[in-house]
Structure 1
Amino acid sequence: MNIAFKQSVYYAAGLVLMKGVSFVMLPFITSSLSTAEYGRLDLWVSLLNIGSILLGFGLIEALYKQAGEAKGNAFNTLNSTATMQQLIIAAFALLASLPVGVAVYVFWPEISLLDLGLVMSTLIFSAAFNIPLTWLRLIDDARSFFLMTSSKAILQAALTYWFLQQGLGVTGILLSGLLSALYLSCSLLYRQWRQLPFQWDAAVAKDMRRYGLPIVASGILLFIAAGAERWILAATIGLESLAIYALAMQFALIIVFVCEPLALWWYPKRFQILNQPNGKQTTARIAETLSHATLFCAVSLSVVAPLIIEWWFPTRYSEAATWIPWLTLGIAFKQLSHILTTGCYVEKQLESC
């Protein structure tokens, strides 16, 4: 667990910086945008979330699973194949972006085409850095993971501040996301290419697609269960109420942030641990520790978060304090379901899930 602790310290430092910067920016963002604009921003974020599930194609989970069994050159081939496959998917997404954009505009004519273009471009560049970022975790290079993700967070926060000061509103925030994603994808792809020449194994690629497809389907279902409600809220009670819900959800998601440092180390490594002597017992112990931390965080957050909203945020968001305990409970149960799913991936197929 010594290695796990060292790796988790880097992950924790990176997450504190990334999430901390985002959290500190929240009062400024909510003050700079009207509640309707903040609600519209949340809709774009939810579109980014579902888009990342589709473009991710379950390749990260497939890479985790197969990396636990690959050694030596097979490990390098696996990672480079995953990266190339992700880039192919991003290229297809780029080709599909124009007809998709036209279709969205036909059914939603009041949409900002500029904002839509920024969101779709961000999705494509974000897909490009998914696998290289996962590769850093697989090779236990937590230091580089920290430097790359933290620099992206700082760049995005600085650009967001500047664009909001210039009065660009939601468009400025989306533009900062695109530019920071472009920076991270180019940096990571160049780094991986220098250390791991790209190779392609058709059989490995086929196995990853077959393994990843059910994960994409389950991700879409999870989004429908917890994510699509934003669009329902926007259509039924308006963007202003959606903004209050979105702010409350930002606090509820702190649960994921607090538990993530160890999870960032454990998720890529859990199959390797599972294959070691006494692997099942070790895996169960780590999952139990994460579960206890999740529940403790949920209780603490329900008490502290309403006070922060009262002190730091405009009064028009005060209603969010009453929503936090319920959203916190839901996020806690969702986090527990992710923590305890390792058994579903033990077999070669996913029928047990």
Structure 2
Amino acid sequence: MPGRGLRRLPGRLSMLRARWAALPEGLRATLLYAGATGWTKGIGLLLLPLITGLLPAAEFGRLELLSAAAEIAAVLAGAGLVDTLYRFASLPGAEGRLGAARVTGLAIVVTLIGLVGAVAAAPLGARLPLPALPVEVTLLGISVALEAAIGVPLAWLRMQNRAGAYAFVVILRGTLHTVLLGLLLWQGFGIAGMLGAGAAASLLAALVLLAGQARDTGIRMQPAAWRPLLAYGVPLIGSGLASFALGTADRWFLAGSVPAEALGHYALASKLALAMAFLMQPFELWWYPRRLGVWAGADGPLHSARLAGTGAAVTLLAAAVATLAGPVLIRLATPVAYHAAATMVPFVVVALVLQSFGSLFNIGAYIGRTGRLPFLVNSLAGAVAVSAYALLIPRFGVPGAIAATVLAQGVRLVVFAILSQRRARADYPHGPIALLALAAGAAAAIPQLLPPVPAALAAAPAFLVLGLLAIRLDLLPAPRLPRRVAA
């Protein structure tokens, strides 16, 4: 009976709330982070056929070059403020709130400077290897400038275990961005419409977050208190710029060495490979704000090593999803002109795995008063990347860019691991991680050897086997099934 079902609804909702409240706090936060990330990236993927159908591969390549330019600006606009917040707002009580208020005030100043810079930089688009219109540069610059005002309040929400509020803002921003992007692209606004959608969504998110931050901690404009914040954060800008060299700087070398269509293929492969990063986000959002506290706590090295092993397993399982699903999605959901991107996906994923491992096993580099050691390591890896780009890209094109990135990320991982162990020794589960990595690499061959439909059917069993292997290797905890109570 419909009426009886409606009468039972409040009771069922209460039962669900009780079960939700009974879950461990970390699991609740991870589920909320996963839900927010899955929603925003899932609805974004729904637009992939529209984007690839309306944008030629050459335009997709031009958009990728603009995004690469934006990454440099984003590093400068962020000013290392999120990591600075972790460092200076982690103290309990009023002292931590004061630190957060000061970092937020600095973030607003950086944002205002960035907005002025976005307008001033508009004419520079004509000087790019693939020229951009002034309006495109300005709209992209607005989104970039707002990242500091968005990133700091979001990081504060994670530090306070307010995963629900974090998820709400992320879903709001992602949904608005996707809806506006689809509408503007459908109306023929092209790249400018896509960038305008991002700027509008970022502006709304920044206003919502700053209003909440003002209520929670206040906002302090105290230039006299910014010196230690900048002393910690500014070296991290250098780390970020070095990370740019490890990430999207290759687009600048490629723009002068390969056709725009090839750059578009590489851009599509990179975007689908980034599904791995999206799947890792729930764990990273939970773990990175806490890892220094865990290390400083009781049995810190033991717990840190265990959780780093868990993070490595999550990384490899996320990589498996990207390598199993990405090539299939390219061949089934995009025009034939984009299908060359499918073979690039697993190799791009290798670079992302090495990047993630470098961040998981570098806790010793962040135990200190300044960000000098991460800056030096990232700078070394960035120099290796740029040198390899200059050497390999003119001769080998996109494969040379991928090989150079893998080499540089490998150098970064090895150097971070060695130096971190000297400062903060921990017994990481290297053997089990290596075995799981070999299995994930074997699974990545499935969509490269099989047609799209059989590969899609084989993906779920392959992922299940990898998950069971991660549990068997004690990298992931075995799921606990509820026990049936005897009558």
TM-score by length of 1: 0.94
Task: Flag the 1:234–1:281 CA change in 2: closer, same or farther, 3 A.
Answer: same
**Offset at residue 99 of structure 1 (A):** 4.2
User: What amino acid is aligned across from residue 205 of structure 2 in structure 1?
Assistant: L
Alignment of 1:221-236 (within 5 A): 221-236=242-257
Partner letter of residue 210 of structure 1? A
Q: Is the 8 A contact 1:46 1:228 kept in 2?
A: yes
Which residue of the partner structure matches residue 100 of structure 1? 121
Residues 26-51 of structure 1: per-residue CA shift (max 9 Å, x gap): 22211111111111111222222221
**Quick one: structure 1 residues 215 and 307, their matched pair in 2 at CA, closer, same or farther if it must change by over 3 Å?**
same
Question: CA offset at residue 107 of structure 1?
Answer: 7.0
What is the letter of the counterpart of residue 65 of structure 2?
L
Q: 2:66 aligns with which of 40, 44, 50?
A: 44
The answer on whether the counterparts of 1:77 and 1:201 sit within 8 Å (CA) in structure 2 is: no
Q: Secondary structure of the residue that 1:268 maps to in structure 2?
A: coil
Tell me which residue corresponds to 1:143.
Answer: 164
Equivalent residue for 1:33, pick from 49, 55, 62: 55
Q: Is the 8 A contact 1:4 1:265 kept in 2?
A: yes
Structure 2: distance between partners of 1:48 and 1:122: 9
Give the Cα separation in 1 of the matches to 2:123 and 2:191: 21
Following TM superposition, by how much is the alpha carbon of 1:318 offset from its aligned partner in structure 2, in angstroms?
A: 0.6
Does the 8 A contact of 2:177 with 2:198 survive in 1? Answer: yes
Show CA shifts across 1:137-179 (max 9, x none). 1111100100111011111111011101111111110010010
Does 2:343 align with 1:322?
Answer: yes
TM-score (norm: length of structure 2): 0.69
For 1:143 and 1:175, locate their aligned partners in 2 and report how far apart those are by CA, in whole Å.
Answer: 28
Name the counterpart of 1:251: 272
1:106–1:23 Cα change, 3 Å = closer
Q: What do residues 311-333 of structure 1 show as CA deviations (whole Å, max 9, x unaligned)?
A: 11111111011111111111111
Structure 1 counterpart of 2:38, from 16, 21, 29: 16
Counterpart Cα distance in 1 of 2:277 and 2:127: 37
Partners of 1:11 and 1:79 in 2: how far apart?
Answer: 22
Counterpart residue number, 1:3: 25
Distance 1:110 1:222, change over 3 A: closer
Q: 2:154 aligns with which of 116, 133, 157?
A: 133
Cα shift at 1:94: 3.0
- Aligned residue for 2:369, secondary structure, equals coil
Amino acid of the structure 2 residue aligned with 1:66: F
Counterpart mapping for 1:277-296 below 5 A = 277-296=298-317
Correspondence for 1:61 among 76, 80, 83: 83
- Distance (Å, rounded) in 1 between the aligned partners of 2:371 and 2:137: 35
Match of 1:120 among 138, 141, 162: 141
Confirm or deny: 8 A CA contact 1:53 1:219 kept in the other structure. yes
* Counterparts of 2:223 and 2:354, CA distance in 1: 38
Aligned-partner Cα distance in 1 for 2:137–2:262: 22
User: Quick one: percent identity of the two aligned structures?
Assistant: 27
More relative contact order, 1 or 2 (CA 8 Å, 6+ apart): 1
Matched, 1:342 2:363: yes
- SS at 2:290 equivalent: helix
**Alignment correspondent of 1:308:** 329
CA contact (8 A) 1:65 1:345 kept: no
Q: Secondary structure at the match of 1:76?
A: helix
Unaligned runs of 5+ in 2: 1-22, 375-487
Paired position in structure 2 for 1:260? 281
Q: Residues 248 and 207 of structure 1: is their aligned pair in 2 closer, same or farther, counting only changes over 3 Å?
A: same
**Gaps in structure 1 of 5+ consecutive residues:** none
How far residue 95 of structure 1 moved from its aligned partner, in angstroms, is 3.4
Instruction: Say if 1:77 and 1:200, in contact at 8 Å, map to a contact too.
Output: no
How many residue pairs get matched? 352
Partner of 2:387: none
Larger Rg: 2
- Distance in 2, matches of 1:316 and 1:104, equals 27
> Does the CA-based 8 Å contact 2:129-2:255 persist in structure 1?
no
Does the residue aligned with 1:230 lie in a helix, a strand or coil?
helix
The answer for the alignment partner of 2:208 in structure 1 is: 187
Helix, strand or coil for the counterpart of 1:308? helix
Q: Please list the CA deviations of residues 105-153 of structure 1 after superposition, one character each: whole Å capped at 9, or x if unmatched.
A: 4677943011111111222223222211111111111001001110111
Computed over aligned residues only, the root mean square deviation of the Cα atoms, in angstroms, reads 2.0
